[in-house]
Amino acid sequence: MSRLAVVCGGSRGIGRAVSRLLAAQGCRLAVVSRNQDAARATVASLDGDDHVAFSCDVSKEPEVQKTFDSIQKLCGNISFLVNAAGINRDALLLRTKPEDMVALLHTNLLGTALTCRAALRSMLHTQGAAIVNIGSVVGLKGNAGQCLYSASKAGLEGFTRSLAKEVASRNIRVNLVAPGFIRTDMTAELKEEDRMRSIPLGRFGEPEEVAQVVLFLLKTSYITGQVLVVDGGMQLVM
Ligand code: NDP
């Protein structure tokens, strides 16, 4: 049977591109997002017909547990987990509302920890299981106006490296992809021309360009606990 991949945040942007690429490679997909109609629309667009959409807020532990129980029951053991669910609430720290701080940390950092925890037991039963978390170049370098977002993504680096150490003996690999500016809903309001000077390759990336790197990290066999930056060279000049 083909391998099962769970993509959290798979309904839009980077997660949708990852879902499409994995389906094109023959994986069965469980696409997870809060908006079930959007997840269903992604599922309908995938190659093959053995895919399922799930509605789940990854920041809420009972929802995550229930969703992963349903995935196990309906689809079987998980081979791949991609954590692309994320939000931004850009503002200087002095103007950031406490509820936005909580939402950022709960969705981007805690959400990833919860889904990894919920998926691991199932992953123990598959050969060569792998997790890819989506961080950000600002988690490595920092960015004014994104203190809590950057903190959540920096937290993912420590989380990824630690989990990689915890599960390596079970041959489960855990890596982090750190994108720069990628053309998705999250960056739709940014003016690309204003950012050009900060990107050596001179353009925003496409979600498909991140998806290729995610696929590489899922399919390869001897890389774990690493951060792969996909940013058009942005980190070089930050
Ligand atoms: P989008 O806004 O395009 O998509 C975000 C996805 O996450 C949607 O599927 C959304 O679905 C889902 N999502 C958001 N919150 C939750 C939640 N609480 N529970 C479940 N699903 C959720 O973002 P991108 O594709 O651009 O971003 C994907 C990841 O990449 C994020 O972690 C982001 O921080 C990171 N990233 C993005 C960059 C960029 O330039 N675009 C740069 C660096 C990192 P729904 O709203 O229905 O829940």
| Strand (E) or helix (H) holding 120 | helix 111-123
Host domain of residue 113: 4-237
CATH number of the domain to which 61 belongs: 3.40.50.720
Distance 137 CA to ligand 1 centre (A): 15
pTM for the complete prediction?
0.98
Q: How confident is the model at residue 99 (pLDDT cuts 50, 70, 90)?
A: very high
Tell me 108's DSSP state.
I
Cβ–ligand 1 contact at 182 (below 6 Å) = yes
pLDDT of 1: 66
If you measure from the C-alpha of residue 15 to the centroid of ligand 1, how many angstroms do you get, rounded to a whole number? 7
How many angstroms is it from 174 CA to the middle of ligand 1?
19
Q: What pLDDT was estimated at residue 3?
A: 97
Nearest-CA residue for ligand 1 atom 16 is 85
Quote the CA–CA distance of 238 and 234 in Å, as a whole number. Answer: 6
**Which protein residue has the closest C-alpha to ligand 1 atom 2?**
186
Of the chain, the end-to-end C-alpha distance in Å amounts to 45
Is the C-beta atom of 83 inside 6 A of ligand 1? Answer: no
Confidence of residue 137 (pLDDT cuts 50, 70, 90): very high
Which positions are annotated as active-site residues?
149
Annotate 46-75 with DSSP letters as a single string: SSSS--EEEE--TT-HHHHHHHHHHHHHHH
Task: Decide: 204 in ligand 1 pocket, CB within 6 A.
Answer: no
> How far is the C-alpha of 132 from the C-alpha of 78, rounded, in Å?
13
Q: How many domains does the chain fold into?
A: 1
**Residue 218 exposure: Cα atoms within 13 Å on the Cβ side:** 27
Q: What is the pLDDT of residues 100-134, one digit of tens each?
A: 999 999 999 999 999 999 999 999 999 999 999 99
164-218 pLDDT, tens digit each: 999 999 999 999 999 999 999 999 999 988 888 899 999 999 999 999 999 999 9
Q: Is the CB of 190 under 6 A from ligand 1?
A: no
pLDDT over threshold 90, residue 162: yes
DSSP per residue, 138-185: HHHH--TT-HHHHHHHHHHHHHHHHHHHHHGGGT-EEEEEEE-SBSSG
Note the pLDDT tens digit of each residue in 57-94.
Answer: 999 999 999 999 999 999 999 999 999 999 999 999 99
Q: Measuring from atom 11 of ligand 1, which residue has the nearest CA?
A: 33
Instruction: Say which residue, 191 or 46, is predicted with more confidence.
Output: 46
Q: Is 183 in the pocket of ligand 1 (CB under 6 A)?
A: no
Neighbour tally for 89: CB within 10 Å: 15
Q: What is the pLDDT of residue 192?
A: 86
